[in-house]
């Protein structure tokens, strides 16, 4: 396993991070025992970063992860979120953020978080995030409840705009640095580097677009994007490799991203994804993937409030 520092937080994270959204049955039903085994396998393999949220399966993912981490808490960098609780349920008030942190601590069976981030800030009022949410996170940090604080979201300009008004330690950007979309470097990365903000890149498989299984029902991508993903999956198969392996490896090659969060809930997927550490992408295949993706390259779907797009 390889490790990198998360910006200037002093926290070291594994370059492959365990995305725990699937533990909340977000991508289909998961066997609880297998989910526990996946967490154990990941820890035994050197994965340290575990990312979850109360939103994933309406607290199910946090509860399962908490159970799986009993006796192993000190081996991991535990990251959760606050402010998002359902598809359309958001509350970024200081009061809710503070209560949410306590609830997450209980479910995760710990007395501190390594990272606590406001979840999908483009759904909130930017002034509230800057003036109320981030200050509330800072107070929790001062109380020792979270070692680092930050924001997450899809819209890069919105993340940058918020972080330029209220300092954060780290951010999660998702679906903006993978084989389908790679504008993270254009919009957010120069700012993040300059400010020393740690960047975690989530959804290397474009939330299932780059898998044989395909996307879950809730996936927001239009049909053209899903079809392009399907063609990439077929192309990789024709080259004798799996698209997830290529997709994850592509992300791991980013020089600044601290960790790439990939969603997994079985030992089999943990083992498959670890192979990306030593895998090399055939440049011929990569060029063919680029051509395949070209018609939808960097096309993203709207997310959040109208004023927070971009």
The vertex-58 CA angle with 57 and 63, nearest 5°, equals 80
- Binders of ligand NAD among 58-87, rule CB under 6 A? none
Q: Which residues contact 275 (CB under 8 A, 6 or more apart)?
A: 245
Contacts of 278 (CB under 8 A, 6+ apart): none
Q: Which of 6, 11, 13, 20 binds ligand NAD (CB under 6 A)?
A: 20
Closest to ligand NAD by CB, 143 vs 268, is 268
Nearer to ligand NAD, 144 or 208 (CB): 208
Residue with tokens 């994007």: 225
| Kind plus residue range of the DSSP H or E element containing 147 | strand 146-153
| Residue 208 within binding range of ligand NAD, rule CB under 6 A | yes
Question: 33 or 143, CB closer to ligand NAD?
Answer: 33
Structural element, H or E, at residue 288: helix 283-293
Cα 211 to Cα 8: distance, rounded to the nearest angstrom: 34
Is 48 a binding residue for ligand NAD by CB under 6 A? The answer is: no
The catalytic position among 56, 85, 174, 256 is 56
* Per-residue x/- track, 223-252, ligand NAD (CB under 6 A): ---------------------x--------
Separation of alpha carbons 106 and 212, rounded Å:
36
Q: Which is nearer to ligand NAD, 189 or 207 (CB)?
A: 207
- Only one of the segments 5-13, 156-164, 196-204, 222-230 lies at the binding site for ligand NAD (rule: CB under 6 A); that segment is 196-204
Residue 159 or 189: the one with the smaller Cβ distance to ligand NAD is 159
Which DSSP symbol is given to 4?
E
Least distance in angstroms from the C-beta of 263 to ligand NAD: 2
> Among residues 59, 158, 273, 292, which is the contact residue for ligand NAD, using CB under 6 A?
273
Residue 206 as a binder of ligand NAD (CB under 6 A): the answer is yes
Interactions with ligand NAD, residue window 139-168 (CB under 6 A) = 152-153
Q: Which stretch binds ligand NAD (CB under 6 A): 66-74, 107-115, 159-167, 257-265?
A: 257-265
One residue of 6, 13, 21, 134 binding ligand NAD per CB under 6 A:
21
Beta strands 77-82 and 84-86: pairing type? Answer: unpaired
Quote the CA–CA distance of 96 and 252 in Å, as a whole number. Answer: 35
The correct pick among 22, 57, 83, 150 for binding ligand NAD (CB under 6 A) is 22
Decide if 56 is catalytic.
yes
**Is 204 a binder of ligand NAD (CB under 6 A)?**
yes
SS3 195: helix
Q: Which of 82, 228, 262, 274 binds ligand NAD (CB under 6 A)?
A: 262
Q: How far is CA 162 from CA 74, 158, 270, 300, 305, in A?
A: 32, 6, 34, 20, 14
Q: CA torsion sign, 16 to 21 to 24 to 30? A: negative
149 pairs with which residues across the strands?
116
The SS3 call for residue 118 is strand
What are the catalytic residues? 56
Interface positions with ligand NAD (CB under 6 A): 19-22, 27, 51, 119-120, 152-153, 172, 174, 202-208, 211, 244, 261-264, 269, 272-273
């Amino acid at each position: 396993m390889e490790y990198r520092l998360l910006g200037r937080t002093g926290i070291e994270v594994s370059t492959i991070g365990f995305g725990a959204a699937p533990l909340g049955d977000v991508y289909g039903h998961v066997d609880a025992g297998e989910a526990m085994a996946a967490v154990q396998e990941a820890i035994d393999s050197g994965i340290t970063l575990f990312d979850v949220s109360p939103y994933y399966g309406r607290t199910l993912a946090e509860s399962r992860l908490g159970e799986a981490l009993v006796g192993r808490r000190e081996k991991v960098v535990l990251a959760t979120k606050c402010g998002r609780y359902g598809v359309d349920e958001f509350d970024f008030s200081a009061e809710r953020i503070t209560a949410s942190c306590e609830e997450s601590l209980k479910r995760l069976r710990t007395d501190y978080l390594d990272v606590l981030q406001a979840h999908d800030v483009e759904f909130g009022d930017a002034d509230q995030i800057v003036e109320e949410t981030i200050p509330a996170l800072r107070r929790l940090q001062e109380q020792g409840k979270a070692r680092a604080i930050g924001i997450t979201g899809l819209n890069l300009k919105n993340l940058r705009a918020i972080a330029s008004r209220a300092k954060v330690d780290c951010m999660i950007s998702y679906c903006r640095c993978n084989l389908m979309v790679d504008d993270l470097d254009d919009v957010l990365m120069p700012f993040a580097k300059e400010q020393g903000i740690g960047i975690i890149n989530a959804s290397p498989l474009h939330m299932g677009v780059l898998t044989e299984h395909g996307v879950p029902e809730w996936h927001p991508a239009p049909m053209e994007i899903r079809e392009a993903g399907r063609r990439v999956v077929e192309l990789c198969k024709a080259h004798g490799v799996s698209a997830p392996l290529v997709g994850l490896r592509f992300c791991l090659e980013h020089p600044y991203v601290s960790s790439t969060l990939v969603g997994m809930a079985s030992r089999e997927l943990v083992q498959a994804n670890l192979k990306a550490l030593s895998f090399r992408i055939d440049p011929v295949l990569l060029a063919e993937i680029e051509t395949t993706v070209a018609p939808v390259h960097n096309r993203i779907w709207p997310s959040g409030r109208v004023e927070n797009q971009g």
